[in-house]
Structure 1
Amino acid sequence: MVKVISIALISLATAISAVTALDPVGQFKRAAACPTLGCVFPPDRSEFLAGSRFDVRVEVHAENNDKVNNKYSLTIEKLSGNGKHGKRGAIEFSKFSHIKPNGQESWDFTYFKDASAYWKSQDGDKNAVTPVHVASTAWRRVQIREPGTYKVTLKYNNGKKTEAIWTVNPVSKRKAKNVILFIGDGMTTAMITAARLISKPHISGKYQKHMHMDQFPVLGHIMTHSLDSLITDSANSASAYNTGHKSAAGALGVYPDTSASPFDDPKQELLAELMRRRSKKNGGAGGVGIVTTAEVQDATPAAVYAHTRDRDEKATIVDQMIHGPNPVVADVILGGGGKYFHSKQGGKSLNGTDYYNVYAKERGYKVVNDRDSLLKYKGKDPLLGIFHSGNMDVWLDRNVYKKNLDNAGSDPTGNGKAALNQPGLEEMAIKGLEVLDKRHRKEGWFMMVEAASVDKMMHPMDYDRALADLLEMDKTIGGTKEWLKRHKLDKDTLILVTADHAHSFDVYGSVDTQYFNSFSDSEELEKKNSVGTYENSGWPSYVDADGDGFPDKWDVRYTLAAGTAGFPSHREDFQVSINGTRVPAVAKTTSHHHYKVYEPSPNDDPHGILKPGTLGGTESVGVHSLQDVPIFASGPGSDLFAGIQDNTEIFHKISEVLGLGEQA
């Protein structure tokens, strides 16, 4: 018996290795996950939860003056696992899936072969692009209920083949009733360390208090690469958590194809969609909550409910929540982004629609637009709370430098006033829990809570604001755990804390800002001497005497010497930006290029030292990095998240904990 199994495993390994092709090198690609002229989406090494729904698209390409061959076929063969497809050869895909494909489509697109072609195009050379002609077929809402390994083969161009191995994972017994996923957007271990340093008391180098996330029993790390790049953005990284599939920059819940429309790309069923149609056997359809300090249409929250290749289609994303083909219609939606809900002053809603009214009338939402209304709400109806026209203001401005809130037009209703009465992340999270508990205590729920401006402040290298928002998330985690325990839900709830991607932030010493400021602008060497390293780094001046989890004072003498690896040219003085978010670089007024080129902002740290950028001149802020991000876990199923894992695994592990999927 052992010998037979061994032979079977060897045969399977041989079949899989036969289609293995390493990711192609290079910066520019004709299409994501499409190294040949024949493309299969989902691509090689995709994994699926048994019974989850997904779209399939094939594309056949021809470049320049070649004509595309529109005669091709797609087959699927089961390589391992039991079931009715276990002992058959390759089957025509339509017959296997019992789905009739859409009619064959055709279109053209262009791409850049390399950096030389791209930059020539940016400077006006219209001949730098390579034209591509496409023939394509799509199958929508496919399901594979039998776990196992499958080989999918596209045959095209008279004998050429593109093959992909797909793995369908089995459904597991439900382990938890509820899951809360905290995302500190862009958060890294180094940021957590810095936040701890400025907020917790230490004696003889030992912390006397720890952050709430420090106290989680399980710690793991997540690899964040995207489908076609070593660096990810928030859209496709958050999508990996919500679908179990990798995607490309800007894409939400889809594999990006090459068609003109950003809405016809092959879709991947979302965690929230699975939650909504969970089988009665595993507890029935559950609740969904979305809480963020960003616009609710922004990449990370939109990954919970949207399908589009372009994360910037925010007006349509608002519509998708309640009008999509299989809309999530979340029980709780709290955050910013009011300008996409109305057409009043500053409004950008789809077709000028009043979506506040539509959400209320068509789906029964209670709509609130300020902190007082949010806290007063005690009902059971689904809750839509939008508190800013754009991203919500950060903790440091809402609580310390409050004059920075006085921005006309930031009110979410389009009345032209400033949004001066915004709730905090903890207040939104607790209210979300209250509503979900009232609506779905029996069935359970999934809630995503995002501290969005950890990332949004790291980009302009406004480290004080980024770390303050990280501390706000940690305080929210503590408040959430207390609420769950008080309502006897702590033993039924898995809590996860992680990030969607990284920044290359780190701290390398401290800065004596008094000494720094004593020198003239031209004395840059002397200013740099204010940075203490190793034994001279000492300790910064931040103190939390009132015990609220935040430094009592941010404008202190001894600050952190911090920085990132990828940044534009700017000036740095290592001191808090009192008058609002930093703007490190601005567009040059004169340039011989056709595109914008940035230089250090004259108003940002004008007396700081010059830091020549490590990025190209077209970048005005810092960029993401490839660091693994931490994941903290507590509650039933938390042991699954220990160790190193790919970002797509998070979806499958959450699905396992919640008992999602359908198995034949």
Structure 2
Amino acid sequence: MVKAVSFTLLSLATAISAVAALDPVGQFKRLGACPTLGCVFPPDNAEFLAGAHFDVRVEIHAENDAKPNTDYSLTIEKLKGTHKDNKNGPKAVDFSKWSKVKPNAQESWDFTYNKDAAAYWKFMDGDKNASTNVHVASTAWRHVQINEPGTYKVVLKYNNGKKTEAIWTVNPVQKRKAKNVILFIGDGMTTAMITAARLISKPHTSGKYTKHMHMDQFPVLGHIMTHSLDSLITDSANSASAYNTGHKSSAGALGVYPDSSINPFDDPKQELIAELLRRRSKKNGGAGGVGIVTTAEVQDATPAAVYAHTRNRDEKATIVDQMIHGANPVVADVILGGGGKYFHSKTGGKSLNGTDYYAAYSKERGYKVVNDRDALLNYKGKDPLLGVFHSTHMDVWMDRNVYKQNLKKNPTDPTGNGQSALNQPNLDEMVLKGLEVLDKRHRKEGWFMMAEAASVDKMMHPLDYDRALADLLELDNTIGKTKEWLKRNKLDKDTLILVTADHAHSFDVYGSVDTQYFNSFSDSEEEEKKNSVGTYENSGWPSYVDANGDGFPDNWDVRYTLAAGTAGFPSHREDFQININGTRVPAVISTTSHHHYEVYETNPVSDPHGINKGATMSAHEQVGVHSLQDVPIFASGPGANLFAGIQDNTEIFHKIAEVLGLGN
């Protein structure tokens, strides 16, 4: 019996390896996950949940003067596991016949791409002939389902005998383990950032902490690999999409595999956790609730990944419309964050077709709309709740709570009245109010909430480390208050809590800085200024103290700070001190560059007395960039053990789906 099983697995592995191909090397590509002239989406090595809906698209490419051959076919067969079974079992059959889905009419279009760095930068500098032309013939199948678990081989035959083959794995539906799931995302958060946040906020004696962060106390810890479909480094859109769909994607994409068409909304879609939860079978508890909380715009990449489908994360006006008007829209029970300018057409407004979406959400879907902290906290009803508190991204914790004068600089009110948004809630207030509403609306069926501390990432980009760490601490405090709320409301044993990041930044701490000594030297004495950085035995403890026990340093403008930095940054100056007057702007557009594209140079106003740090990447980049690091995931509650160890970001979807009993 054991030998038979081993033979089956070995045969299946052999069959799969014969099809699978390594990702092509190089920085530029014609189309993500399409190394040949024949493309299949979903691509090779895709993984599905049994019963989940998805779209399929094939593309045939021809470059320059060639034309694509429109005579192509797509077949599918289920692999049985042994050579004997494959020989006598079902043969490959036409995909349309097998799926019982009629394909859309064949389409055609053209696009261009750059083959390598030389072509790309020539194109950026105005040479339109540097790009390669591609002509496309394509067919799409919409709303496909595979209900039977197993391994499938899909074959595209084109150009008189050429083949593109893909192996698809379909996972079975599992018995439900929890009623509720909260997915906390510290956007861009890494282990090094958590370590630094702990250092500046928790007391320690003889090198040992006497108090720990809330996420430190979770019983299960794992790590997540964050590569995108076609690149080493991911962005928030496709990384958050991996959590919500179980599929890889490309930069900027939400809930789709990016195709090469012009339309950013016709790309092949994958069903989202929230969509699956809305149509969950009665035997598994019925349709559940959905909550979205963020300190970014509610249309920003990470929150939009919960409910939107588009190749372009910047289509924010349409993303607002998708929530209530899309095909089978999610219509979340709770939506809280920023992004007011996409809800109205008043001063500064950018809503789709000038629509008043505050009114549309209220009249068409019954939302209670609130636009400031007082209105949020005073809401006691059970109608779906839309809270938008800023015209763009909400201000960071540091400016909302410490340097409040920075809130008065711009007309940021979410309603377009030209005033400043001076009364914004904190993350914990939004999360707890969101939980109240979800509990009132879906205590019996259960719910899923995604809550994001967005500006950990948004402050790491401009190298404003203090503001980034403050938002990380806000996330940790919110986690603690959430656990207390769940216990108080007798939901703690029914709720899985996950804390993770969607991607990394290359931040780390390498010592401490005596800023008093640093500031004692003139701007030209950079070598002496660098002597203020203490490493190894001289990396003494920083001056931050949390005497009132609120989880944050009582004073951010201290003498001894952290010597910290990232690996990928633009030219800038560094003085290792808090930016009291607002978010750091490390680099500005050069006025002397001869290039047709924007080139950035050191901002002469930001940190004027700091040391000079030359860029480690293209001068076309204005701020720091994401990095390759695995990100941590903390888990507590029913099903937490599933998240231990090293895992791909797509596995998070499948594990959440298992915990919530999603699928057929």
TM-score, normalised with respect to structure 1 = 0.99
One of 502, 507, 510 as aligned partner of 2:512:
510
1:520 aligns with 2:522: yes
- Post-superposition Cα deviations, 1:456-480, rounded to whole Å, max 9, x if no partner, equal 0000000000000000000000000
Distance 1:24 1:481 in 2: 45
Q: CA deviation at 1:2?
A: 4.0
Distance 2:569 2:52 in 1: 41
User: Paired residue for 1:51?
Assistant: 51
One of 432, 451, 454 as aligned partner of 1:452:
454
Q: CA deviation at 1:162?
A: 0.2
- Post-superposition Cα deviations, 1:458-513, rounded to whole Å, max 9, x if no partner, equal 00000000000000000000000000000000000000000000000000000000
Distance 1:458 1:537 in 2: 23
1:393 aligns with 2:395: yes
Compared CA separation, residues 103 and 476, structure 1 to 2 (3 A): same
User: Paired residue for 1:282?
Assistant: 284
What SS does the aligned partner of 2:659 have?
helix
User: Paired residue for 1:224?
Assistant: 226
Q: CA deviation at 1:589?
A: 1.1
Compared CA separation, residues 81 and 178, structure 1 to 2 (3 A): farther
Distance 1:190 1:5 in 2: 44
Q: What does residue range 154-553 of structure 1 map to in structure 2 within 5 Å? A: 154-553=156-555
Distance 2:654 2:232 in 1: 22
- Post-superposition Cα deviations, 1:356-391, rounded to whole Å, max 9, x if no partner, equal 000000000000000000000000000000000000
- Post-superposition Cα deviations, 1:391-439, rounded to whole Å, max 9, x if no partner, equal 0000000111000000332000000000000000000000000000000
TM-score, normalised with respect to structure 2 = 0.99
User: Paired residue for 1:104?
Assistant: 106
Amino acid at match of 1:579: N
One of 91, 94, 105 as aligned partner of 1:92:
94
Distance 1:3 1:529 in 2: 66
Distance 2:480 2:158 in 1: 56
1:22 aligns with 2:28: no
One of 152, 155, 173 as aligned partner of 1:153:
155
Distance 1:94 1:287 in 2: 34
Q: CA deviation at 1:590?
A: 1.6
Amino acid at match of 2:23: D
- Post-superposition Cα deviations, 1:26-55, rounded to whole Å, max 9, x if no partner, equal 000000000000000000000000000000
Q: CA deviation at 1:18?
A: 1.4
User: Paired residue for 2:622?
Assistant: 620
Q: Between Structure 1 and Structure 2, how many residues are aligned?
A: 662
Task: Report if the CA contact (8 A) 1:71-1:156 is conserved.
Answer: yes
1:560 aligns with 2:541: no
Q: What does residue range 573-584 of structure 1 map to in structure 2 within 5 Å? A: 573-584=575-586
Distance 1:3 1:489 in 2: 46
Task: Report if the CA contact (8 A) 1:541-1:557 is conserved.
Answer: yes
- Post-superposition Cα deviations, 1:66-118, rounded to whole Å, max 9, x if no partner, equal 11100000000100389999931101000110000000000000000000000
Once the two structures are overlaid, the 10-residue window that deviates more, 321-330 or 76-85, is 76-85
User: Paired residue for 2:661?
Assistant: 659
Q: CA deviation at 1:20?
A: 1.4
Distance 1:616 1:429 in 2: 39
Distance 1:290 1:8 in 2: 44
Amino acid at match of 2:69: N
- Post-superposition Cα deviations, 1:331-369, rounded to whole Å, max 9, x if no partner, equal 000000000000000000000000000000000000000
Compared CA separation, residues 200 and 90, structure 1 to 2 (3 A): same
Distance 1:384 1:563 in 2: 37
What SS does the aligned partner of 2:39 have?
strand
Task: Report if the CA contact (8 A) 1:79-1:86 is conserved.
Answer: no
Amino acid at match of 2:288: G
Q: CA deviation at 1:9?
A: 2.8
Distance 1:472 1:5 in 2: 51
Task: Report if the CA contact (8 A) 1:78-1:86 is conserved.
Answer: no
One of 134, 138, 142 as aligned partner of 1:140:
142
Distance 1:304 1:606 in 2: 41
User: Paired residue for 2:9?
Assistant: 9
Task: Report if the CA contact (8 A) 2:12-2:81 is conserved.
Answer: no
Q: CA deviation at 1:13?
A: 2.1
Q: CA deviation at 1:282?
A: 0.2
Task: Report if the CA contact (8 A) 2:338-2:391 is conserved.
Answer: yes
Amino acid at match of 2:600: Y
% identical equivalent positions: 84
Distance 1:85 1:618 in 2: 56
Distance 1:637 1:75 in 2: 37
Distance 2:190 2:15 in 1: 39
Task: Report if the CA contact (8 A) 1:231-1:624 is conserved.
Answer: yes
Q: CA deviation at 1:15?
A: 1.6
What SS does the aligned partner of 1:127 have?
helix
What SS does the aligned partner of 2:383 have?
coil
What SS does the aligned partner of 2:646 have?
strand
Superposed CA RMSD in Å reads 1.3
Compared CA separation, residues 85 and 298, structure 1 to 2 (3 A): farther
One of 127, 147, 150 as aligned partner of 1:125:
127
Distance 1:14 1:300 in 2: 38
User: Paired residue for 1:611?
Assistant: 613
What SS does the aligned partner of 1:18 have?
helix
Task: Report if the CA contact (8 A) 2:74-2:95 is conserved.
Answer: yes
Amino acid at match of 1:405: L
1:79 aligns with 2:87: no
Amino acid at match of 2:50: A
Q: CA deviation at 1:3?
A: 4.2
The unaligned stretches of length 5 or more in structure 1 are none
The unaligned stretches of length 5 or more in structure 2 are none
- Post-superposition Cα deviations, 1:187-211, rounded to whole Å, max 9, x if no partner, equal 0000000000000000000000000
Distance 1:15 1:553 in 2: 62
- Post-superposition Cα deviations, 1:508-560, rounded to whole Å, max 9, x if no partner, equal 00000000000000000000000000110110000000000000000000000
- Post-superposition Cα deviations, 1:608-631, rounded to whole Å, max 9, x if no partner, equal 000001011111100000100000
Distance 2:87 2:650 in 1: 26
- Post-superposition Cα deviations, 1:550-579, rounded to whole Å, max 9, x if no partner, equal 000000000000000000000000000000
Task: Report if the CA contact (8 A) 2:11-2:81 is conserved.
Answer: no
Distance 1:84 1:304 in 2: 39
Task: Report if the CA contact (8 A) 1:342-1:352 is conserved.
Answer: yes
1:35 aligns with 2:35: yes
Compared CA separation, residues 50 and 608, structure 1 to 2 (3 A): same
What SS does the aligned partner of 1:293 have?
strand
Task: Report if the CA contact (8 A) 2:398-2:467 is conserved.
Answer: yes
Distance 2:517 2:270 in 1: 56
Amino acid at match of 1:118: Y
